[in-house]
A and B are shown apart, each in its own frame.
Chain A
Amino acid sequence: MAKEFTYSGCAASAQACAMAKVEVICSYPIRPYTAIMMELVKMIHNGELDAEFVHGEGEHAQFSVVIGASASGARALTGTSGVGMTYAMEVLSPIAGGRYPLQAAVADRALDPPGDFGSEHTDVMTARDQGWIIGWAETPQEVFDNHLINYRVGEDENVMLPQFVCQDGYFVSHIPGKVSVPEQSQVDEFLPPYKPHNPLNPKAPYIHAPQIKPNQGPVIDLQRAQAHLNTPKVIRQAVGEYNQIMGREYSPFLEEYRCEDAEMVIFIMGGHARTCRFAVDALRQKGVKIGMVKIRFVRPWPTDEVAECLSKFKAVGVVETSTSYGGAMKGGNLLHEVRASLYDLPVRPLTTSFMAGLGGEVVSLQGFNYVAETLTKAIAANKVNKYVQWIGFEPDWHEFVEAGG
């Protein structure tokens, strides 16, 4: 029988990875993800987890160590936050291209400048083009579940890709929530042991990541692209089985909240979805026909699901929580993907985005109310005024606040 515990996101991460029986862990401290490693090292010290724990000399070393571990056939775990993520950047492509299905637990954090401890999705979103599976969790429970689901998906023979299992720093990583922890036997049923392809072995030597010829480069890139094309099907299957074994109700890619008869939706990912639910409830009480769509994986991006889901609404407000300076939409990353997904639809909803939750700022109820107000105006005018609204700084934000919004 599953038991319920109160865990922070970091503790939930550690518990899940221990139950996934990770064999090699490489750590280097940086807030806020460090607490995951603190929990794991305690488990090893107490004899609850049998894993090799390596202290990396930096994030670049961390991600390099787990390549070796994964290449030798171990289920490997590392992780980081913020600028640690960007310091590890060079190693991300070799991990994905070499097809090592290791996992990185990330409690996200703003990049410098200045030295900001706050949550922001830009750290991992900066790495979105390297071939990793990437997704955010909303609660410690979802953090726990995502670790297991991601190992299962990443290690599938048709996938063999590394995974970033992300949670919002502090908002999720350090705020405790109820976590239903399954029996070890249930986890074992869901997650078979890792089967590496041609692991390092002195008796049957293989070369990992040799020098290649230029005309082999496109073929390797094609393999990585093909793996991402294979992944959605594997995610759907894994999430289905996970729900069945653990008694959960996850949708593989998109969760809809109060979207029946909704005219407009807030499109969001990660911890701020928690606040968004309260905002939607309050707005519904006032008669606003609004819902929320939460995305669980940004890589692979669920193009068809996004198009099908969002086509039902008149207007979509994307909450970004990451930056893409100079990009087509002048704000964050998600609106690019959302608009591209909708392009081939015969009738498209109005779409715009909202920069919010940068640097660890809370996305407040007032912020979500402003999203609803902006979308309401857009529906009335049948057009959006801007690609992006910076919450707290727009001229009509100040009018909205003065009017008691």
Chain B
Amino acid sequence: MSFIVPEERKVAQGVVIPSPVGENTDMITSNWRSQRPYMKDLDKCDMCRNCYIFCPDGCWTVDEENEVVIWNAKYCKGCLVCVTECTEKALDVADELDFDDGVVRLEKSF
């Protein structure tokens, strides 16, 4: 028996693929987020890095030079553990509907 797999649907054996080493832009996983964390008060942030440490999806990175934490919307599922763990209450929660790029407004899932 032989099969024909269209070119665009081919995948490597066992889906063992070269690592993108960083973000996997082929797999955006934020489309079911209904709320997101945002930096409500930058003055309160003391760079404790709890958001960076606790995020299960590695969505917070630390900009050492400018002393800020940066949120990556592409992989945040809105679990909000960063907001819970924020010691200085610098982070807060906002509804996705409040943003023009809110995932609830996406036409395509990913």
Contacts and interface: CB of A to CB of B under 8 A. Distances in A.
A and B associate in one complex: yes
Contacts of B110: 213
A195 interface: no
B11 A212 contact: yes
A209 interface: yes
A285 interface: no
Given A213-B27, A219-B9, A97 B18 contact: no
A206 B17 contact: yes
A109 interface: no
Contacts, number: 69
Interface stretch (A180-188, A220-228, A325-333): A220-228
A99 B16 CA distance: 9
A98 interface: yes
Contacts of B1: 226, 229
Contacts of A212: 11, 15, 27
A211 B29 contact: yes
B16 A98 contact: yes
A132 to B, nearest CB: 14
A101 B49 CA distance: 42
B66 interface: no
A401 to B, nearest CB: 48
A216 B13 CA distance: 12
B14 A207 contact: no
A210 interface: yes
A223 B19 contact: no
Interface in B1-21: 1, 3, 5, 9-21
B14 A208 contact: yes
A216 B15 CA distance: 9
Contacts of A220: 11, 14-15
A155 to B, nearest CB: 14
Contact of A160 (B5, B14, B18, B27): B14
A205 B22 CA distance: 11
Contacts of B20: 207
A72 interface: no
A151 to B, nearest CB: 18
B24 interface: yes
Contacts of A198: 12, 16, 18
A220 B14 CA distance: 7
Contacts of B29: 211
A215 interface: yes
Interface in A47-106: 97-100
B9 A98 contact: no
Nearest to B12: A198
Nearest to A214: B109
A383 interface: no
Contact of B10 (A100, A205, A219): A219
A208 B16 contact: yes
Contacts of A229: 1
Given A97-B14, A207-B19, A226 B3 contact: yes
Contacts of B16: 98-99, 197-198, 206-208
A355 to B, nearest CB: 34
Contacts of A206: 16-19
Contacts of A197: 13-14, 16
Interface of A: 97-100, 160, 197-198, 204-213, 215-216, 219-220, 222-223, 226, 229
11 contacts: A99-B14, A197-B13, A197-B14, A205-B18, A206-B17, A211-B24, A212-B11, A213-B26, A220-B11, A220-B15, A226-B1
Given A206-B19, A207-B17, A219-B5, 6 more contacts: A98-B16, A205-B21, A206-B17, A207-B24, A212-B15, A222-B5
